[in-house]
Structure 1
Amino acid sequence: MGKIWELDFYSRPILDDNNKKLWEILICESPISIDTDVNSLFRYSQFCSNNEVNSITLQKAIDTAIEKSGETPSKIRFFRRQMNNMIIKGCELAGVPVFSSRHTYALNKWLEERNQDFYPQQSGYDEKSAQSTSVQYPQNNPINLPDAVKGDKKDKWALVSLSAEDFAEMKEWDIGFAEAFPLSMINIQPHTLIPGLIIFSQRALPLAGWMSGLELGYLRLDKGNFPKICLETGVSDSWILANLTDKATLAEGEGFEKAKKQASGVHFLGVQSSPESESFAGFWLLLDNQ
């Protein structure tokens, strides 16, 4: 897997000399493994005026970032649905594949830092617009997994937990498809319990391969009329992974959500052929920052 970038292009709570909001392009590298050095990840930022907000400006910024980093990313992720057409066009002009995604963990963390520590220090900072800034993701109704990757009625699932320190050895695990990030990025303490869902399937490898082609966001408990654990992907897709059919499994799902909050949103998804397997067809460390 080549380098993956995360990108945002949007107005900031800073007014220029004409009392117009400044816009900013942010590009950062996605961490893809548990042992990534977050301080070594590439970052690029560029302010522009509101009359420069177009795909050509974005293309030039991406070209500059590529020049500064010394390599072209394999793909770019973005979460800002309002900027969908412009971001896609700019990335296409720069010749880089682009995907809408809620897997922009590093970018969201960087934006959080800038909103707290950087923008308020800038000339023209507008506290009122800063307080009104929020990102709302659309959410489709969850649907079943495609038939091609489903197993049969023998397939099982389990909600489990690992301590944060267990992930120090993740790079030594036997995993087919994987993506992770360093827990230090979220300031997780070693003793923290990280909850997760493991799916045991006779079609473990096809299922993991299919999941690896999605932009995995996070797992969530849906407590509707038919409670379930769902996998959120892209910016609006939702897939049913586990049906909670009685009070006991619903209690497990509620425990999973509670543990996820206590772990600052960090959790995981694993796919194995059976509970006895010592390898994973797929394993992803995920973050729910909703």
Structure 2
Amino acid sequence: MNNSIWQADFYRRPLKDKQDQQLWELLICTPTRSLEFTAICPQSEVNAHWLVEQLRKVGQGQDLPDTIQVFRPQSLGLIETAAQMLGVKVEATRHTTALKQWLLERAQQYQEMKTYTGEFYDPLKLDSPPPVPLAENLWGDRWRFATLPAGNIKDIIERPIPILAVPEFLLPLNLGLSSTLPIPGVVIDGGRQSMRLAQWLEAAQPYFLKYVSGDPDGLILEAGLVDRWVVATFSDREVSLAAQVYEERKQHSQGLHFLLVQPDDSGMTYSGFWLLH
């Protein structure tokens, strides 16, 4: 069994014990859910040492993982502290599909428990700050919506690109997408700022780019665990129509889209490429 990655969530649930104390639950699974572990903890006992004990319990049957992935900001600090005591790396990432699916299933199961409080509960909801404009010293020369045939993405990622973020599970082939399907994306010609922008994006950890209609319309980058950035605003009708087509194409590509940063539109060099979902 390959347990080099675990996904974990440790947070309060819509559950209370007989003393009316809020209950927290620890969920740990592998990306394939071949391993699943749960433990309940009263809020008064929530600390890193309790977590260390639970992680050791899970590790009794198999080795501890190389990495524990965490998507919830409120879980991150405690899990990082516990993992550090055990010499395990923690990765803050939204890409915890198996864990999120399990959380949705658990939310249904809570309703059957005697400790269920009956309160509304969305297991995946995270408080997200309002979007912040990108710093002017990062912004490039121009940007545009674009498409790439799914089959061409493999060619692009084989090129020498300084910053490349292409999770294997997001490759079009692994999503079962046709090689001719147009994958929507955003291309930024960064000019002299191209490498600086790509490095900033690498640190920010892009997750997805979405069009938001308004006055003006906007292109919002969701990044990190809950960060949001205003990549661009526009009121031009043609750009807004292109943005709507961009969102429609995402529906056909199972949400797959890309972000490409390059110095110019010559196609000679790229600074950074991200597959997003």
Fold agreement, TM-score > 0.5: yes
Q: TM-score, normalised by structure 1?
A: 0.70
Q: Are 1:87 and 2:79 counterparts?
A: yes
Q: Are 1:281 and 2:268 counterparts?
A: no
SS at match of 1:278: coil
Q: Distance in 1 between matches of 2:219 and 2:200?
A: 18
The residue correspondences of 1:209-288 to structure 2 (distance < 5 A) are 209-287=199-277
The offset of 1:178, in angstroms, is 1.3
Q: Distance in 2 between matches of 1:222 and 1:261?
A: 15
Equivalent position to 1:198, from 174, 181, 187: 187
Task: Extract unaligned runs of 5+ from structure 1.
Answer: 15-19, 30-38
Q: Distance in 1 between matches of 2:52 and 2:238?
A: 52
The offset of 1:69, in angstroms, is 5.5
Q: Residue 160 of structure 1 corresponds to which residue in structure 2?
A: 146
Task: Extract unaligned runs of 5+ from structure 2.
Answer: 16-21
Q: Distance in 1 between matches of 2:114 and 2:206?
A: 34
The offset of 1:65, in angstroms, is 7.3
Q: Distance in 2 between matches of 1:47 and 1:134?
A: 15
What is the root-mean-square deviation of aligned Cα atoms in Å?
4.1
Q: Distance in 1 between matches of 2:243 and 2:149?
A: 18
Aligned positions, number: 264
Q: Distance in 1 between matches of 2:46 and 2:7?
A: 18
Q: Are 1:176 and 2:162 counterparts?
A: yes
Larger CA deviation: 165-174 vs 249-258: 165-174
Q: Are 1:50 and 2:38 counterparts?
A: no
Larger CA deviation: 165-174 vs 252-261: 165-174
SS at match of 1:141: coil
Q: Residue 111 of structure 1 corresponds to which residue in structure 2?
A: 100
The offset of 1:176, in angstroms, is 1.0
| Alpha-carbon contact 1:25-1:58 (below 8 Å) kept | no
CA separation of 1:159/1:218 partners in 2, compared to 1, >3 Å: closer, same or farther?
A: same
Larger CA deviation: 233-242 vs 83-92: 83-92
Q: Residue 52 of structure 2 corresponds to which residue in structure 1?
A: 59
Q: Distance in 2 between matches of 1:280 and 1:59?
A: 43
Q: TM-score, normalised by structure 2?
A: 0.73
Amino acid at match of 1:79: F
Q: Residue 208 of structure 1 corresponds to which residue in structure 2?
A: 198
Amino acid at match of 2:70: F
Q: Residue 134 of structure 2 corresponds to which residue in structure 1?
A: 145
CA separation of 1:114/1:169 partners in 2, compared to 1, >3 Å: closer, same or farther?
A: farther
| Alpha-carbon contact 2:5-2:66 (below 8 Å) kept | no
CA separation of 1:70/1:88 partners in 2, compared to 1, >3 Å: closer, same or farther?
A: closer
The offset of 1:198, in angstroms, is 1.0
The offset of 1:201, in angstroms, is 0.8
Q: Residue 25 of structure 1 corresponds to which residue in structure 2?
A: 27
